[in-house]
């Protein structure tokens, strides 16, 4: 994950003078996953049960969206090295670490 933070900073530092406006760059895998896919994978890789229920789709919500990472590939020379399982493990590890540090703060 550090590449997704350091590469943009390096690009920013090298190109700040020529940048007219700020860019929004997607740091993604270009692979689509449903919310249910994410819940199932997150539960599986972290050995936890997540409660969920199905509901009617909200008005205006797109049925399918996948972010495009071509700008990150071109400008930052960044390519995804991890998959959704890795991301779910890393997020869970961060949550556990953060919650422990918050408990120790009081």
Question: For the residues 17-25, what does the mean pLDDT come to?
Answer: 63
Residue 50 has a pLDDT of 92
Query: For the residues 43-64, what does the mean pLDDT come to?
Result: 91
Q: Tell me the pLDDT tens digit for each residue of 75-96.
A: 888 888 888 999 999 999 999 8
Residue 42 has a pLDDT of 96
Q: How much is the pLDDT for 13?
A: 73
Question: Span 2-104: which CATH code?
Answer: 3.90.25
pLDDT value for 21: 57
Q: How far apart are CA 36 and CA 25, in angstroms?
A: 26
17 pLDDT more than 90: no
Angstrom distance (rounded) from CA 102 to CA 106: 7
């Amino acid at each position: 994950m550090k590449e997704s933070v350091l590469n943009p900073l390096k690009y920013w530092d090298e190109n700040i003078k020529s940048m007219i406006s700020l860019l929004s760059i997607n740091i993604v895998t270009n692979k689509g996953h449903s919310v249910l896919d994410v819940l199932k994978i997150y539960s599986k890789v972290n050995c936890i049960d997540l409660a969920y229920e199905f509901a009617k789709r909200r008005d205006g919500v797109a049925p399918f969206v996948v972010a495009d990472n071509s700008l990150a590939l071109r400008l930052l020379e960044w390519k995804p090295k991890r998959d959704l399982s890795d991301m779910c493990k890393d997020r869970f590890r961060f949550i556990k670490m953060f919650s422990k540090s918050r408990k120790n703060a009081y």
